[in-house]
Amino acid sequence: MKSNKALTIQELPIVPLISFDKVFAIWEEMLQAGNDGERVNAELVLEQLSAFPELRKPFSDLSMLEQYESEISLLLSPIFPKALQLNEIKSCMVFFRSVFFNRTQRFENIIMAAGEDYEFSIRNKDEDGIYITSCMYILASHYGVHLDMSSPTIIEIPNVQANTLRTYRGFFNADFAEIRPTDAALDLSQQEIEELLDNADNVELWKQKIPPESFEMLGFGLLTIFDITADDALSAVKNNLIRKDALQSGPILEEIEVDLRRYFGIEDLHIGFAALTDNQLQAMSAIGARSALVKDQCHPKEAFCEGSYDHIIQDKKMLSIPSVDKLSERGGALFKRLKGTDFKSYLICPLVYDDQVIGILELGSSVAHAVNSVAEKKLNQLVPLFATALKRSIDEYYIKLDAIIKEKCTAIHPSVEWRFYQAARNLLTSNAPKEAEMEEITFGKVYPLFGQMDIRGSSLYRDEGIKIDLTTQLRLAQEVLERAKQEEDIFIYDQLIFIIGEYLDKLDKKLDAGDESAILSFLKQEIDPVFEQFKDRNGKLTEAVQTYTDRIDTKVKRVYEGRKKYEDTVTTINEEIGSLIEKAQANAQAMFPHYFEKYKTDGVEYNMYVGQSLVDDGRYHEMYLKNLRIWQLITTCEIERALFEMSSSFEVPLRIASLILVQDAPIDIRFRLDEKKFDVDGAYNVRYEIIKKRIDKSKVRNTEERLTQPGKLVIVYSNHNELREYQKYLQYLRAKEYLQGEIEILELEELDGASGLKALRVDINLEREPTDAALNEQVETLVASVS
């Protein structure tokens, strides 16, 4: 009996002992409880094996596997049915020794075809790794530690005659084995087990805690392998194709070619590429890719005859030529280009991206009929990846487009980048002067979503911070002058103290426009020069001046304490809103690509546009608009809740008030190159912009009450359809505890340029616990519920 010892391990924690006790138990079970045929067969087998009592005892002498080969084969016949000998690739094995016995005939045939010197090549297994793996098996089997030890075992076996390398996946079965400790085994505490698991790569630690030969493994293992050559090669090709430089690196291209040979089973397969840009087939030799069809560049019709051009470029279908020689009978441009190559069979595959042929992939072999329609079918699942990889390579040729866009338009949102690339390409290919402008970029019939989170009362708190700082600085100056007057009673000190007193009285009542600049001017022009003269005076006066100076911020040259608290709080709120909305935007873009921009003021406001014209593939459905509207509602509630939770840590007690403006009718937007931003296009759409700019200060009709309030969600709408849609959303959000209380329906005061506006207003549940469900899942559930 042949055995494979490709992996000789000198030191292991487990001593394997071959035992067939569990197989004998199967026969004895059949003898006692089997049907008539099973009992008769079991009696004959057990009687025959009774002459070999040594097979009933555990043994380590591997020579016994060959000595009792036929008896062992008879003993194992329930596990190795004769009818499956040419179907299954299965063998018994000695654990952790890579010694295999009682192989099926198909397994034997594979090993024999590998050549006399072949030894198993098991990937990702080194000596230390196998020691630790066997220890983990001990932890699981003996110590009861729950470990997921499932990992694929990959075996590569050559076929010498076919000059191929086949890949197999192995599965191990330990049902016929058991493990037991020897005298060398140690009792491990829970702490020691955790230490081992925290140091999975420290083989010395594992050897210390689970010494060599501290356990015995009685029985044998079963190895069943499956041929995964095509799948493995396919996976390798896919992994290479998703790399950024897949078609721009010679070594990677060579790997792809080798793996494609394994995948197709064609020993001398060669690949080639050509890009189709600007209606020209262009060889990609500059990045290491060859092409049998194109040496430099040419029009596709020059490379193909009329029929093949229509088939490949127009119909976007593959063309396989099993015999290039037979093609010569018809002649034509394609044959003329192939006759100078060594190819006897050939395939052309159009690579399609965004429904456009962006290039071709070529497969060729020097063997006629090696590349055929079967290869065409196998290639299908790789075509999208080749197309994507080729697209990335083509983009390298168009790096100038980025330069044009950055120069003309600065930063562009990813959702509309495609349209700017299109315009830049048109400018680049037009040979226009460098100073020429890009074509006008407009998007028609898009749906706007506007939202704002305004910091309520920010101007009041800002003024209060300024008053505190001015008052503090004036009082500090007053103290210095009082000290100076004690030392030198002159009129100028009295006059300055008088002016300071007037300013303090004024600040005590109200901060009017111009007061801040007047006071700061007074301090700079009247007080600072006087204090400069005090530096050489006696200690007490110098101390008073130093106290004043220490409170002056070195950057803004004034007392900057109250206002700093205000500005720090505003910055914290803006940054938190920005961070939360950017994070939520990632979810929103995953729902459907759309344009998004935000602005920071005293709070944050943002614009979103969604519609068919904004996506280059043209896919759009009203469902996406509903998704984004609900996303907007949930995101607003979550931001309000998060900021309310943070508010106790704010140095200034600021709150935000949220508003959403609904626009059910689509509008047109245009990119303004002069201002480098999008704006509404057309007089009719201007009303929407007017409302956006004026709505935030609006009041409830016939009252002095501001529409927006901290802790409330406000949705401004214009018509009944918008009302009905958002009522459904709000009712459901209230049921899900995002909102609470009654939903108010309010009329707004008339706005200059916009009338008839109404609003929904409802309390946000600021104490709602955050959900573990992903935002997209919540939105999808809500859409389904209200549709």
Residue 665, H or E segment:
none
Q: Find out whether 712 and 706 touch, Cβ atoms under 8 Å.
A: no
Whether pLDDT at 635 is above 90: yes
Residue 3 has a pLDDT of 47
Who wins on pLDDT, 608 or 306? Answer: 608
Residue 286 has a pLDDT of 43
Mean pLDDT comparison of 1-15, 420-434, 461-475, 674-688, highest-scoring range: 461-475
Residue 1 has a pLDDT of 45
Task: Tell me the CA distances in angstroms from 24 to 18, 27, 94, one per residue in order.
Answer: 13, 5, 18
Q: 270-284, 289-303, 416-430: which range is least confident on average?
A: 416-430
CA atoms in the 13 A half-sphere facing the CB of 638? 21
Residue 57, H or E segment:
none
Domain boundaries, the chain: 14-19+58-227, 230-397, 462-558
Residue 405 has a pLDDT of 57
Residue 689 has a pLDDT of 83
- Mean local confidence (pLDDT), 312-319: 91
- How sure is the predictor about 160, in pLDDT bands with cuts at 50, 70 and 90? confident
Residue 398 has a pLDDT of 62
Who wins on pLDDT, 413 or 449? Answer: 449
DSSP collapsed to 3 states, 586-652:
HHHHHHCCCEEEEEEECEEEEEEEECHHHCCCCCCCHHHHHHHHHHHHHHHHHHHHHHHHHHHHCCC
Q: 44-58, 237-251, 397-411, 423-437: which range is least confident on average?
A: 397-411
- Mean local confidence (pLDDT), 636-642: 95
- How sure is the predictor about 634, in pLDDT bands with cuts at 50, 70 and 90? very high
Average pLDDT over the chain reads: 86
Please give the single-letter amino acid code of residue 376.
E
Q: Which tens digits make up the pLDDT trace of 593-604?
A: 898 988 888 889
Q: 520-524, 564-568, 684-688: which range is least confident on average?
A: 684-688
Q: 533-537, 626-630, 709-713: which range is least confident on average?
A: 533-537
From the list 449, 450, 454, 448, the residue with the least C-alpha distance to 640 is 454
Residue with tokens 């952790």: 96
Residue 193 has a pLDDT of 94
Residue 774 has a pLDDT of 56
Residue 784 has a pLDDT of 61
Long-range contacts of 160-163 (CB under 8 A, 24+ apart): 160/113, 160/114, 160/115, 161/113, 162/113, 163/267
Q: Which tens digits make up the pLDDT trace of 234-269?
A: 898 999 888 877 887 778 888 999 899 989 988 889
Residue 728: both structure tokens together: 């459904």
Residue 87 has a pLDDT of 92
Q: Find out whether 647 and 655 touch, Cβ atoms under 8 Å.
A: yes
Task: Tell me the CA distances in angstroms from 508 to 34, 521, 564, 618, 694, one per residue in order.
Answer: 105, 19, 20, 63, 33
Residue 283 has a pLDDT of 72
- Mean local confidence (pLDDT), 361-374: 91
Within a 10 A sphere around the Cβ of 506, how many other Cβ atoms?
Answer: 16
Residue 7 has a pLDDT of 39
Task: Please state, for a pLDDT cut of 70, what percent of the chain lies above it.
Answer: 89
- Mean local confidence (pLDDT), 628-653: 94
Q: Which tens digits make up the pLDDT trace of 57-91?
A: 999 999 999 999 999 999 999 999 999 999 999 99
Question: Any idea what the Cα angle at residue 503 is, between residues 501 and 507, rounded to 5°?
Answer: 115
Residue 198 has a pLDDT of 94
Q: Which tens digits make up the pLDDT trace of 725-784?
A: 999 999 999 999 999 999 999 999 988 767 889 999 999 999 988 765 555 566 666 666
Give the contacts of 24 (CB within 8 A, at least 6 positions apart): 46, 49, 56, 75
Who wins on pLDDT, 116 or 703? Answer: 703
Whether pLDDT at 2 is above 50: no
Q: What are phi and psi of 534, to 5 degrees?
A: -80, -10
Label the pairing between strands 153-159 and 121-122: antiparallel
- Mean local confidence (pLDDT), 26-37: 91
Residue 434 has a pLDDT of 67
- How sure is the predictor about 19, in pLDDT bands with cuts at 50, 70 and 90? very high
Task: Tell me the CA distances in angstroms from 366 to 253, 326, 370, 623, one per residue in order.
Answer: 19, 14, 8, 54
Residue 610 has a pLDDT of 94
Residue 430 has a pLDDT of 66
Q: Which tens digits make up the pLDDT trace of 492-507?
A: 999 999 999 999 999 9
Who wins on pLDDT, 465 or 299? Answer: 465
Q: Which tens digits make up the pLDDT trace of 36-60?
A: 888 999 999 999 999 999 999 999 9
Q: Which tens digits make up the pLDDT trace of 552-586?
A: 999 999 999 999 999 999 999 999 999 999 899 98
Give the contacts of 57 (CB within 8 A, at least 6 positions apart): 19
Residue 223 has a pLDDT of 92
Q: Which tens digits make up the pLDDT trace of 604-631?
A: 999 999 999 888 766 888 999 999 999 9
Residue 781 has a pLDDT of 65
- Mean local confidence (pLDDT), 316-335: 80
From the list 314, 348, 13, 10, the residue with the least C-alpha distance to 185 is 13
From the list 64, 191, 211, the residue with the least C-alpha distance to 135 is 211
Question: Any idea what the Cα angle at residue 343 is, between residues 341 and 346, rounded to 5°?
Answer: 120
Measured distance CA(55)–CA(440) in Å, rounded: 88
DSSP output for 469-490: HHHHHHHHHHHHHHHHHHH---
Q: Find out whether 18 and 58 touch, Cβ atoms under 8 Å.
A: yes
Residue 5 has a pLDDT of 44
- How sure is the predictor about 191, in pLDDT bands with cuts at 50, 70 and 90? very high
Who wins on pLDDT, 679 or 429? Answer: 679
Residue 694: both structure tokens together: 């004026």
- How sure is the predictor about 8, in pLDDT bands with cuts at 50, 70 and 90? very low
pTM for this predicted structure: 0.51
Measured distance CA(229)–CA(156) in Å, rounded: 9
DSSP collapsed to 3 states, 547-595:
HHHHCEECCCCEECCHHHHHHHHHHHHHHHHHHHHHHHHHHHHHHCCCE
- Mean local confidence (pLDDT), 94-113: 89
Residue 67 has a pLDDT of 95
Return the CATH fold of 230-397: Beta-Lactamase (3.30.450)
CA atoms in the 13 A half-sphere facing the CB of 224? 9
Whether pLDDT at 284 is above 80: no
